[in-house]
Chains A and B, each alone.
Chain A
C-alpha cells in the first residue's frame, strides 16, 4: 500500500486493483445507508405488528407465574396461560434433578397434578386468555423443585423454585413501584437488572399499577414478557393500584393472581387483601383503592390490626398502592394515613412499600428520628419502575403530616432490593442502570427494638452526629451522650476536646472512656466533665471508632463568674498594661493575671472583690496584645481552672 500511495507517476494504471477495493468498500457503505434511509425501498413504512398477533394464546403455556400460599414451605401455586381444556391442564413436579433430557426421572419421582382452576378471560383483542392454576402441596421445606405446566402434549420448559424454610432463614426480595407505562420498552431492563442483582430473590413485591389499563390484554401480555422467565421461578406478591380497577377489579386479577383468600372476608377484597409469612417476614397486602368506601376501609383496618397484633414474625412488610405520604402534586391519601399509619407505628411495621406517585420518596415519622442518620420508626417508601414520571412536590405531604422524607428522586426508574437477615433488614434502591440511589439498614433485637440506619457514607459518618442532652454543663457535671450508626459491638472511644478542633484522630489525652455499641449499633454514655477541664471553654464530644468519627454540638463548660478587663495605657511616658478580674461568683477564687510584661497571682479573691495589676512595659509604646486571666476555684474539693484571654489595644505614650 505504501508503494502505491507514494507512486504519483501513473496512479490510474497501476492503481486498478486499488480502485476495485475502494469500490467494494463503497458498496458496503451503501448497504449500511439503507438501514437509515427507508425511502430507498419505497414510501410505506412496515406495518405495526398487531397486538392480537403478538399476544394471542396457543396451547403452549406462557405467562407462567408463581404466587405464594400461606404455607410456602410445603405448598406452591403456579399459574399460566394456555389454550387448553380445563380437564387437560396439568403440571408435573419433582425434586430438582441433576439433569433432564436424556436423563429420564426415575419411576415415581414425578408427581402429576391437575389444575385447581381454569378461567377464561375474554379480551378486547378478540380472543380469550385462559389462565390455569395448579397448587403443589406436600412439598418438603427448603427444597429445590423442578416443575413444568401444560396439557400433556404441549409443555412449558422445566422451571425450578425452592420452597421456603419452616422458620426464619435469610432471604432477599425485590420491590417495584408502578410499571404501568412503556411496559414493552422501558420496563424490561429494570426487571432484568433487579434479577441480575438478586437472582436468588424469593419474592417480587409489586405495589400496584402493574399495567395502565386494567383489562388490556396487550398490556398484561407486555407485563409478562417484561419479566420473561423470572416470574416462573420467583413468587409474586402484588396488590392492585387504581389502574387495576376499571369499573371494578381487573378481570385478569384473580385468574392470574390466586393469592391467599385470608383477607377481611368482603368479596370485593378477595385476593387483593391478604397476608402470608415467608421465612420470618409477614407480608401484608392491602387494597388502598377503597378510600372513599368507609366499609371496605374499616374492614381492612380492623383486619390489619389483627394481623399486626398477632404476629410471631420478626419482620413485617406491608404493601399497597396509595402512599401514606405522597411525593407528587397535591396528592393526599388521608384515609390511608389516618387509619393505617398509626397501626404501622404501633405494631412496629418495618417497611411500607407503595407506588402511585411515579417518583421516589423514602422517609419516616419525624418524631422517630434519633440522630442525623438514624431513626427507629417505620420506613415508608414510594417508588416507580416504569417510564411515566411525575415531579416531586418538595416533600409537602410528608412535612405537612409530621413526617420527613430522607431520600427522593424524580425522572428515574428504580427497583429495590431487600435482604432479610436475623438481626438486620437491608434495603437498597437502584436506578434502571444498576447504580445506587438510596439505602438503609434496619437493625432489630429480640425485644423488637429497632434502629433504621442510613447506609454509611463519608458524609454521615463524620461531622456533627452525636446527641447530647445539654449544651451547658458544670465542671464535674454529667452530659448524656448518645450516638447511632455503629456495627454491633463496635468499640467507640469517647473524647472530650475543644470545640471546633479539627482532625479525625482522637488524642489519648482527651479520651474519657471506651464504650461498646449494642446490637442495634447504639451507644449511650453519661460523660462526667473532668475537673481538669478548662472551665468557661466550649468543648465537643468526639467519638472515634472503626466506622465513624463524629462530634456533638459545642458544650460550654460553666466557668467561674468573673468580669475581666485589660487595657494598655500611658502613665507618664511609659506604656502600661493593666488587667483586672472581679470575682462575681459565690466563693473565693485564686486569680493569676498574665501579660507579656509580667504576671501576678492573687489568692482568695473574695466574692465582689477584684484582683488587678498594672504591668509596666518600660517602653514608650506597646503593641496590641492579649492578657490571660487564670481563675481557679474548687468544686467538691478539686481545683477547677478557667482561662480567659482578654485582648488589649496598642498604646503609644510619645
Chain B
C-alpha cells in the first residue's frame, strides 16, 4: 500500500450571518524544457513507453459552507466538495494484481478566527456522490458519514470526518485502469445551536491510496 498523492482543501465557515471560505490546492510545479543551438544534430530515438501514472486532482482548493437546514437544536452549514478526479493512465498490465485504489479524507477541527472554541472535525460529515464512475460498476463512492450529532445511518458512521473516511474507491484497479473517475460530495457541518458565532477554518486532506 502506498500513498500516491495527497491534497489539502480548506473549508471555512462563518457561523452566524455570512459565510465565506476558500479552498487552496497546492499543485506540483511544472518545469518547461529549454531551447536553442545552431548545429543540427540528428538522431532517431525510439519512442519509449512512458509508464502510466495514477493521480488525483481536485477542481478547487476551497469551499465555503453556508447555513441551510438549521433547526432549533442544530445549526447546519452545507457546501459541495469540488470535484475530485482520479486519473489512471496505466495499462491494465502495469497494475499489480489485486491492487485497488481508494481516496480517503480526514478533516482537522474547525478553528475559530477570533479565538472561539474549535468545532471538532466530528461535526463535519459528507455524502460522496459519483460524478463519473465509468460503466463497469467497479468504481463507487464511499458511504455517507454523518456527524457526532446524528444517529448512525450505517454501522458506526456518526463519527464525522475525523479519520480516513472513504470518498471513492475501486474494487479492482486493473479492471478500471486507463480511465478517469470523478466524484464530489455534499459537505455538512452540524453544530449545537449555541455554537459561538464567528469564522472557522478546517483543512480537509484527501489522500489517494493503492
Residues of B within 8 A of A597 (CB): 154-156
Which of A338-346, A477-485, A570-578 contacts the other chain?
A: A570-578
Q: Which residue of A lies closest to B133 (CB)?
A: A612
Residue of B whose beta carbon sits closest to that of A613:
B140
Q: Which residues of B contact A609 (CB under 8 A)?
A: 135-137
Contact of A618 among B135, B139, B163 (CB under 8 A): B163
| Residue in A571, A599, A611, A614 whose beta carbon sits within 8 Å of that of B154 in the complex | A599
Residue of B nearest to A612 (CB): B171
Contact in complex: A571, B155 (CB < 8 Å) = no
A119 at the interface (CB under 8 A from B): no
Bound-state Cα–Cα, A611 to B156, Å: 23
Tell me which residues across on chain B come within 8 A of A615, comparing CB atoms.
Answer: 143, 154
B1 is contacted by which of A572, A598, A613 (Cβ under 8 Å)? A572
Chain A, residue nearest B207 (CB): A572
- The closest CB in chain B to the CB of A569 belongs to B100
- A614: which of B157, B159, B169 is its contact (CB, 8 Å)? B169
Q: For residue B143, which residue of chain A has the nearest CB?
A: A598
B136 contact set on A, CB distance < 8 A: 609-610
B188 interface contact, C-beta 8 A = no
A605: interface (CB < 8 Å): yes
Contact in complex: A572, B164 (CB < 8 Å): yes
Decide yes or no whether A522 CB sits under 8 A from chain B.
no
Minimum CB–CB distance from B98 to chain A (whole Å) comes to 8
The answer to whether the Cβ of A565 comes within 8 Å of any Cβ in the partner chain is yes
B104 interface hit (Cβ, 8 Å): yes
B171: chain A residues within 8 A (beta carbon): 565, 578-580, 610, 612, 614
B195-210 vs A, CB cutoff 8 Å, 1 = contact: the mask equals 0000000000001010
- In the complex the two chains form, is A618's CB within 8 Å of B159's CB? yes
Using CB atoms, name the residue of chain A closest to B99: A569
Complex contact A571–B140 (CB within 8 A) = no
| A576–B102 CB distance below 8 A | yes
Encoded as 1 (CB less than 8 Å from any B CB) or 0, chain A from 579 to 612 comes to 1101000000000000011111010010001111
Count of interface residues, chain A, beta-carbon cutoff 8 Å: 28
In the complex, which residues of chain B have a beta carbon less than 8 angstroms from the beta carbon of A614?
100, 102, 140, 142, 166, 169, 171
Is A71 close to B, CB under 8 A?
Answer: no
A616 interface residue (CB < 8 Å to B): yes
A244→B100 CA distance, assembly (Å): 90
What separation, in Å, do the CA atoms of A124 and B142 have in the docked complex? 108
- Please name all residues of chain B whose beta carbon is closer than 8 Å to the beta carbon of A570 when the two chains form the complex: 1
A609, closest chain B residue (CB): B137
Q: How far is the CB of B83 from chain A (nearest CB, A)?
A: 20
Are B104 and A612 within 8 A (Cβ)? no
- Nearest-neighbour CB distance to chain B for A608, whole angstroms, equals 9
Check B137 against A598 for contact (C-beta < 8 Å).
Answer: no
Contact digits for B161-174, partner A, Cβ 8 Å, 1 yes 0 no:
00111100111100
| Minimum C-beta distance from A294 to chain B (A) | 79
Q: Separation in Å of the B77 CB from the closest CB of chain A?
A: 24
Distance (whole angstroms) from the CB of A231 to the closest CB of chain B = 87
Taking a contact as CB atoms under 8 Å apart, the answer to whether B143 and A571 are in contact is no
Q: Give the residues in chain B near A569, CB-CB below 8 Å.
A: 100
Which residue of A565, A570, A574 has the most chain B CB atoms within 10 A of its CB atom?
A: A574
Chain A hits for B138, CB < 8 A: 580, 610, 612
Residue of A nearest to B141 (CB): A613
Contact of B170 among A572, A598, A602, A612 (CB under 8 A): A612
The 6 closest A-B pairs by CB, nearest first: A610-B137, A598-B154, A612-B171, A580-B171, A609-B137, A614-B169
Q: Could you list 14 A-B pairs, sorted by A, with CB under 8 Å?
A: A571-B209, A572-B1, A572-B104, A574-B163, A576-B166, A578-B100, A582-B137, A609-B135, A611-B140, A614-B140, A614-B169, A614-B171, A616-B143, A616-B165
Known: A609-B136, A612-B139, A616-B143; 18 extra A-B contacts, CB below 8 A, are A571-B1, A572-B1, A572-B104, A580-B137, A582-B137, A597-B154, A597-B156, A598-B154, A598-B155, A610-B136, A610-B138, A610-B171, A612-B138, A612-B140, A612-B171, A614-B166, A615-B154, A618-B163
